[in-house]
């Protein structure tokens, strides 16, 4: 399933290592939907403070609109 679709994400607790990683712009990851390469997890609990992290590649990125809204109502 595309990361751009509205769906519930796997969640992770933020670690000290994650805090030190640089941000990657999600628009620059051309193969963002490759589930063999990436295993995206949502980190953070506040609506505006969440981000996505892949333990396989150690990439930290912002959320797509689909990930941001998840299963919530879009108005």
Q: Is pLDDT above 60 for 75?
A: no
**Structural domain tally of the chain?**
1
Under DSSP, is residue 49 helix (H, G, I), strand (E, B) or coil?
coil
The continuous run of DSSP H or E covering 52 comes out as strand 51-54
Domain assignment of residue 23, yes or no: yes
Say if CB 62 and CB 32 are below 8 A apart: no
φ, ψ dihedrals at 67, nearest 5°: -70, -40
Domain assignment of residue 62, yes or no: yes
Residue-wise pLDDT for 14-41, tens only, equals 999 999 999 999 999 999 999 899 999 9
DSSP bridge partners of 51: 43
pLDDT at 3: 77
Domain assignment of residue 18, yes or no: yes
Domain assignment of residue 21, yes or no: yes
Range of the domain at 27: 10-69
């Amino acid at each position: 399933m595309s990361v751009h679709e509205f769906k519930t994400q796997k969640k992770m607790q933020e670690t000290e290592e994650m805090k030190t990683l640089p941000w990657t712009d999600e628009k620059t990851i051309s193969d963002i939907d490759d589930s063999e390469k990436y295993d995206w997890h949502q980190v953070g609990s506040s609506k505006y403070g969440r981000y996505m992290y892949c333990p396989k590649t150690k990439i930290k990125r912002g959320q797509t609109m689909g990930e941001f809204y998840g299963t919530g109502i879009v108005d």
